[in-house]
Amino acid sequence: MSSHTPVMLHEALDGLRVQEGKWYVDATFGRGGHTAAILQKGGKVIAVDHDDEAIAYGSVHFVKELEKGDIKLVHANFSELGTIPDTTTRKITGILFDFGLNSVQLDTADRGFSFQQEAMLDMRMDKRLGVTAKDLVNALGRKELYDLLTTYAQEFRARTIVEALLRNRINKPIETTTELAEIVEKAVGGRKHPGDIHPATKTFMALRLVVNDELGSIERALPTALDLLEDSGRLVTISFHEGEDRIVKHAMKTWEIEKKGTQLTKKPLEPSMEEQRENPRSRSAKLRIFVKGGVK
């Protein structure tokens, strides 16, 4: 099983200011790295994830904590926080969102997130969802594909990529990750310099965001999270994509104007150079902190 290194762990814990015996929501449980750190500091955790494999992992690796009642595992999308009894019947002192994929999802070939491994074009974080990336690539029209790539990935080569997709799917559906990656690479050319991202990176990201309605989920989840927090409770978010961070930034700025609390991070915190070297996937991370009702 692949391991997952939690991003900006120390900064997230500092932002939450974990207090012994208080309840915290880890809204993106993944492999439980942030949850484990909160528990070690004496906090109690409601761990939420829409990936059933994450919940199964938690039920095996947090047995003692589950038996003691220090952790509650909930299989749900974080946009559903307001309907989860475990979150609505307790005083919540802090909520953490770590958006995007965890390393295990990316490294598990059959999930279809990575262009580096052969797999069906799936990309569903929650297997209960109906639409896959394969469905989008083969069913969307020219304008819809163009809008998907430009809106969700700011892909400046969108027209070229879309025309290549349309040409290639005439004879047979585009079905696998490597097939899609090769189509994009042939259309726009390979990497120009060592260290450049793969030319299909933005295409894969845009498809993943749409399949899982990630940005819509964030927009719905943030107001609910603020409502659930007790006075002086802390909301910490870690974003990996401009669209994610833009939604968080706008929400926190609006809350501050409405005098609902204080944003502690006018500019987002970023991972240290050491962390970026040790965990390259952390490079684009941006962490923001909001205190409900303000700092007292």
User: Residue 208: is its pLDDT beyond 80?
Assistant: yes
pLDDT at 1 (0 to 100)? 33
Interval 167-199: pLDDT, tens: 999 999 999 999 999 999 999 987 776 667 889
DSSP-derived secondary structure for 29-96 = -TTSHHHHHHHHTT-EEEEEES-HHHHHHHHHHTHHHHHHTSEEEEES-GGGGGG-HHHHSS-EEEEE
Q: Crossing angle, helix 214-228 and helix 242-257, to 10 degrees?
A: 30
pLDDT category at 5 given cuts 50, 70, 90 is confident
Nearest to 245 by CA among 202, 224, 214: 214
Q: Are 261 and 255 in contact (CB under 8 A)?
A: yes
pLDDT over threshold 90, residue 163 = yes
pLDDT at 133: 95
Residue-level pLDDT at 165: 97
Q: What is the 3-state secondary structure (H, E, C) of 241-252?
A: CHHHHHHHHHHH
What's the DSSP call for residue 266? S
The pLDDT-based confidence of 241 (bands split at 50, 70, 90) is confident
Residues 6+ apart with CB under 8 A from 68: none
Q: What is the pLDDT of residue 265?
A: 95
Span of 81-85, 109-113, 162-166 with lowest mean pLDDT? 109-113
Please check the confidence at residue 281 and state whether its pLDDT lies above 90: no
* Tokens 């923001």 -> residue: 288
pLDDT tier, 210 (very low <50, low <70, confident <90, very high otherwise): very high
**pTM, entire model:** 0.87
Q: What are the tokens at 198?
A: 């793969």
**Each residue's pLDDT tens digit, 85-118:** 999 899 999 999 999 765 554 555 555 567 777 8
Domains of the chain: 9-104+214-292 (3.40.50.150), 130-211 (1.10.150.170)
| Residue 292 backbone class (left: φ over 0; alpha: ψ -120 to 50; beta: rest) | beta
Mean pLDDT on 196-212: 90
pLDDT at residue 2, as a whole number: 39
Question: Would you give the end-to-end CA distance of the chain in angstroms?
Answer: 44
Helices (H), 154-272: 158-168, 177-188, 201-211, 214-228, 242-257
pLDDT over 50 (residue 69): yes
Residue 126 banded pLDDT, cuts 50, 70, 90: confident
Average pLDDT, the chain: 91
